[in-house]
A and B are shown apart, each in its own frame.
Chain A
């Protein structure tokens, strides 16, 4: 299949000219206090149709799961069922204010309570908050809970341990909550090195953050021992749910003795990523941590739902209101549609797809660590880089020319020239075969040709150095640089 993306020289909306036809025009005279009036406002005034064309053209210079396979490792870019779009934009979602009287938002409260229960069932945790707006936000919430827990026991702790293969958000979230972050190296098998963990653990350790399966797609086989070690020094074990898509119905963070877990609803539960967001990052905890969850908690009394703010040990709030409600509607609908049996099949198929695709591209691409993988795998283009000068980034760009999104590249950093591939359960054998063939073709292609890629996208290789040097971050900065203003 050949691929060619639209290539318009679409101007910035600020460069468009026309007549504004917005229909609410009013010349009402209003009074703004002296000294507080705005003197000029320079937004483009153009007709609605031109705005629609502008953004339709721009959309054609973009690429989503609906365009083609999108196997970004750790991002779980699965198909987003369209019934969820429909349900999340109903007026009974869109036109409801979060501060309405409880009696007038019973539907929303009920949906959230039911979703909490579903997430408990999937994770084998005891209680869930839906408030965090994203995965990293969930991590931050989890770290605040860990801090509150230790402080409550009059045993304040200052350190959080993360493996070097962890997502960058883990250390960043722990640092934001005020912890000193200790990164430990992975062992020779790609899993957490228990000796290194032992050396790092102490009575200063507040929590250990673990992704399981980890970012190499490997299941932490010593998880039981690891949990024992963490708990034996009084620390909490945190589960980064970015890779939950691999294990639903097969194991669960609660069973693995994790104390806190976050879910990425925009990964595992099929809500679309919207070019970077919105997502939602609910957090689940074991019973003993439930008092620390953010407020309000949703409680049901005699068939009616009520918001409970009156909780002594709560960490308070991590964002306004209840969380990203419209995203919660999508995830709830998806979980209903899949059911317990369907979710288990999702994980089975995701793991099957990953192992199948891996079998097609190895040994052309090298496979560090053991062979069995979960929902994603990491291969190295080290050999290609050395022999032909073709690097991970070249491979990524060459895949774009073939109508595929590239894998995550250069992560995790412990693998040289890493390609981190997560096909998800959505892709068919036929698509996986095409993707594998594309990777093999690129490995065999003339390196000079590969280096020219991409040629089928709306622009050729972008100059990131120039962007950082010029630092043009807005229309007004552009005008200033161009001497227009």
Chain B
């Protein structure tokens, strides 16, 4: 990238260095200690070769889930989000020239509102865990108390992110436990932890154990004045009662199962929806329907006075860059599946997991499923050896094993989460069963 001599001449300078004369000598550097640039051929070869050391779920049967899933993604999703006009645009500050992105994001908000049965959704948070952090501080804004109740059956990642997000508002995070037989939340434990100081309750459906928790709807019945946050796998909502129908104030979740690649964990998409009455306390960008000067339907960003670029230190959140393009991908995916297709994907997931559960139960040494609750697309198994070790052995069979749970719930020694999706073939299951049998011996 050579400098354009004509511009230097017009500015009347000899050397571009003159434009840096305002940088004091004591902080100047001569160069960046990195190798010289490379051609496109070299870069593509080098990066491809490096990434080839990753094992993919396209090649190896995978039974790993726990928030990120190997799902089928119609090719058209990528076609749509690869449109230059979408991918190379910025946040749609100038609404008149950005209607395409604005309408797409409005449609995304609409899809999430339908799925969750909530009034409004923002146009994305970073991921599920950060959505949880923002939901907790939003509860504190709705009900200014300082204890946030969370399930013991929750991923370690989320707990750690939550702790950081509530540290500013100085909230205490208190855990309630689960029923050791059903794996569902233990309502008695919630009652025990309930105090005058609680600003919100968080529950997951399906929960960390893959269980469609039939106790969750009882939370609002029992504690009608405490804001209820429900975390979801949005795919399950094709079949499962949406949180909006059992009193949730805020619904969050991970959008990845809706047509997004796993991407080694990111980018993914934080879902965030709420009831209309709370919308002004919400974090993140909102797109509203409006009209132009000539009365035509139009879309623009709205309620920006909640946001950091206007409200600065008093904003509801610091979020600026979000996951907008992935929100468009989710809309495109849901556009293609529609109600019928989404229900069929969810059904297949549920059925495959049930089949896998039965097959694993037949193997000596494995307790499957550990919990009696109804499962969506994953379930807990107790293995005859440490799951981390088991996974290394499975890897030798070319199989990606399940998620070890002890790190997330310390009392679940030797427990792991096995997952099936529409990508899990009968052959995959046979291979896993054979390998599990072999490594148990």
Contact = CB atoms under 8 A, between A and B. Distances in A.
A binds B: yes
A157 B107 CA distance: 44
B56 to A, nearest CB: 4
A300 to B, nearest CB: 13
Interface string A20-64: 101011111111111111110111111010011011111111111
B351 A30 contact: yes
A343 B36 CA distance: 10
A139 B308 CA distance: 13
B22 A372 contact: yes
Nearest to B129: A320
Given A12-B107, A278-B326, A396-B94, A20 B340 contact: yes
A25 B344 contact: yes
B381 interface: no
B238 interface: yes
Nearest to A131: B266
Given A13-B107, A317-B157, A459 B99 contact: yes
A372 to B, nearest CB: 5
B294 to A, nearest CB: 5
A92 B54 contact: yes
B55 A274 contact: no
B361 interface: no
A-B pairs, 6 with minimum CB distance: A321-B265, A274-B325, A98-B265, A22-B341, A339-B37, A64-B88
Interface string B309-340: 11111110111111111101001101111111
Contact of B345 (A24, A43, A349): A24
Contacts of B294: 459-460
B214 A175 contact: no
A1 B50 CA distance: 44
A275 B90 contact: yes
Given A60-B100, A101-B391, A325 B24 contact: no
B293 A463 contact: yes
13 contacts: A36-B212, A63-B97, A92-B51, A97-B62, A100-B64, A224-B26, A274-B89, A278-B324, A324-B267, A352-B3, A459-B99, A468-B288, A474-B120
B3 A339 contact: no
Contacts of B297: 9
A348 B3 contact: yes
Interface residues of A, number: 200
A472 interface: yes
Given A178-B169, A372-B21, A51 B332 contact: yes
A9 B262 CA distance: 35
B350 interface: yes
- Could you say which of B6, B67, B70, B86 has the most chain A C-beta atoms within 10 Å of its C-beta? B86
Contact of B336 (A22, A320, A457, A472): A22
Contacts of A345: 1-3
Contacts of A340: 31-36
A389 interface: no
A111 B78 CA distance: 24
Contacts of B16: 348, 351-352
B104 interface: yes
A104 B95 contact: no
A316 B293 CA distance: 50
B251 interface: no
Given A273-B88, A317-B161, A467-B289, 12 more contacts: A48-B76, A62-B97, A63-B85, A66-B84, A134-B320, A169-B309, A172-B315, A275-B98, A275-B104, A278-B322, A352-B4, A474-B114
B190 to A, nearest CB: 18
Contact of B320 (A77, A136, A338, A466): A136
B126 A98 contact: no
Contacts of A97: 57, 62, 64, 68, 70, 262, 264-265, 400
Contacts of A104: 54-55, 60, 395, 400
Contact of A475 (B36, B113, B317, B318): B113
Contact of B293 (A91, A171, A338, A461): A461
A43 B117 CA distance: 12
B340 A22 contact: yes
A27 B36 CA distance: 58
A75 B4 CA distance: 23
A336 B46 contact: yes
B43 A255 contact: no
Interface residues of B, number: 199
Nearest to A92: B51
A468 B158 CA distance: 33
Interface in A249-265: 249-252, 255-256, 264
B86 A274 contact: yes
A28 B351 contact: yes
Given A333-B43, A337-B43, A45 B99 contact: no
Contacts of B336: 22, 48, 51
Interface in A459-484: 459-464, 466-468, 470-478
Interface string B38-71: 1110111011101111111110101010111010
Interface in B254-306: 261-268, 276, 279, 285-294, 296-300, 302-303
A374 to B, nearest CB: 8
Contacts of B422: 24
Contact of B51 (A108, A219, A318): A108
Contacts of B43: 83, 87, 333, 336-337
B128 A320 contact: yes
Contacts of A322: 264-266
Contacts of B37: 336-339, 341-342
B120 A477 contact: yes
Given A14-B110, A343-B32, A30 B322 contact: no
B342 interface: yes
A172 B318 CA distance: 5
A239 interface: no
B302 to A, nearest CB: 4
A168 B240 CA distance: 40
Contacts of B103: 10, 12, 58, 61
Contacts of A380: none
B290 A467 contact: yes
B264 A121 contact: no
A463 B298 contact: yes
Interface stretch (B7-15, B195-203, B426-434): B7-15
Interface stretch (A199-207, A229-237, A353-361, A440-448): A353-361
B338 A320 contact: no
